[in-house]
Amino acid sequence: MAILVIEDDQRVAELIQRGLEEQGFAITLAYDGLSGKKLALQNDYDLIITDIILPKMDGIDVCRHIRETKPDIPIIMLTALGTTDDKVEGFDAGADDYLVKPFEMRELLVRIRALLKRNTKTANNTGFIVRFADLEMNLHTKIVKRDGQEISLTPKEFKLLEYLMHNPERVLSRVEIAEKVWDTHFDTGTNFIDVYINYLRKKIDKDFDKKLIHTKSGMGFILKAE
């Protein structure tokens, strides 16, 4: 498995390289955002790890550029910025996971393996049209429509809605959503999942009489036609 690491701190970059190479990964290093973007677009990697604060081009812009031509490659962001707003910005740029510095190599390995496993399953999925009520999602073109009206979603909103649509009429807890959509365990005190559910509601339900995304107090969320 080939991994690109974009990190301007040479010591951190080499620590990641050494830790991942010990696990059998082939690592390429880039020390600024522009070089990282070029390497990502010119070569085939199984996963990309990028810092956010980088010289020449920040990790948010790097992620957006990569997503334009390689929408399915897993991307993990490493950063010292750990607020909910920072995470939302990273996920909206197309990141699949977010690890706050300092972190343990063991935790990074768990995130990497979860993303690589999920990406393999996605690649093997032959059904690419998902429907619920008047909502339709195309997993290939990433186009979402409700009652024929196209709805624009960020990459992470799309993944959240995809999970809801694959599990209709079933209450999904915040913990389950965090594990299945983000492949991670969030602090149970965070309102992170609620923030994204609210984003989806504004786009999916706001302009329609029939609401599809519902809250079950104290339990989680459910996709059902009411």
pTM of the model: 0.59
Q: pLDDT at position 51, please?
A: 92
Say if CB 32 and CB 55 are below 8 A apart. yes
Instruction: Identify the DSSP state of 73.
Output: S
Angle at 37 between CA 34 and CA 43, to 5 degrees: 135
* Residues 129, 65, 152, 218, CA torsion sign: positive
**Domain boundaries of the chain, sorted by first residue:** 2-123, 129-223
Q: Output the pLDDT for position 133.
A: 86
pLDDT (mean) for 128-149:
86
> According to CATH, what is the number of the domain 129-223?
1.10.10.10
Average pLDDT over residues 163-185: 84
AA identity, residue 48: I
CATH class given for the domain over 2-123? alpha beta
Smallest Cα–Cα separation from 73: which of 108, 142, 119? 119
Contact 91, 155 (CB under 8 A): yes
- Residue 214 reports pLDDT greater than 90: yes
